[in-house]
A and B are shown apart, each in its own frame.
Chain A
Amino acid sequence: DAKTTQPPSMDCAEGRAANLPCNHSTISGNEYVYWYRQIHSQGPQYIIHGLKNNETNEMASLIITEDRKSSTLILPHATLRDTAVYYCIVRYMIYNQGGKLIFGQGTELSVKP
């Protein structure tokens, strides 16, 4: 699975949009981009995933560049409860068979009042 690069930490003001970048320059055609987050001392929580089109759900939006070498997770209105470590992971998926989720170091997002 392709590796990802994320900034180790970011701050965001409460109520503002949090934009978390991820580089995955070696991503291949069958690899999806997944985002998870982990609040302290809890299991990771699924946020969103995508292949090449932008995706949006009730939690976040995922913007993938046209060349698919990078992506941005957007939390439109960050709250204090969004403070967590955010992991960007690329995983292959073909014929509904997926590879393993391998976690990198992630970005520690601190939402401040």
Chain B
Amino acid sequence: GAVVSQHPSWVICKSGTSVKIECRSLDFQATTMFWYRQFPKQSLMLMATSNEGSKATYEQGVEKDKFLINHASLTLSTLTVTSAHPEDSSFYICSVRLQSYNEQFFGPGTRLTVL
């Protein structure tokens, strides 16, 4: 399957700062990428869908001005958590769907802790 990487794997930041998380599709071009968030002991929650070269589509209840998504190339999408607060502490996971395949592949996740 496709290899998806995320950077950083974990990050600790102070409240009020912004954090950028990168998601890369290493061996395939990904026209569509997804961002999920997972709180402890809970399931994954879809935050947004991003298509290369166009604006992301956010799920209901997800603030687009707080979670900025950029999908500038077929291999890179970034999620920026702006003005992070402790309640934003979570496990953020990106996912890649390849147009020619029915599978969707996930990155290893980024653990964000906001102090």
Contacts and interface: CB of A to CB of B under 8 A. Distances in A.
B34 A103 contact: no
B43 A103 contact: yes
Nearest to B109: A43
Greatest chain A CB density within 10 A among B4, B93, B100 is at B93
A44 B93 CA distance: 9
A102 interface: yes
Interface residues of A, number: 21
B108 A102 contact: no
Nearest to A43: B106
A9 to B, nearest CB: 13
Contacts of A101: 34, 46, 95, 104
Interface of B: 1, 4, 6, 34, 36, 43-46, 49, 91, 93, 95, 97, 99-100, 102-109, 111
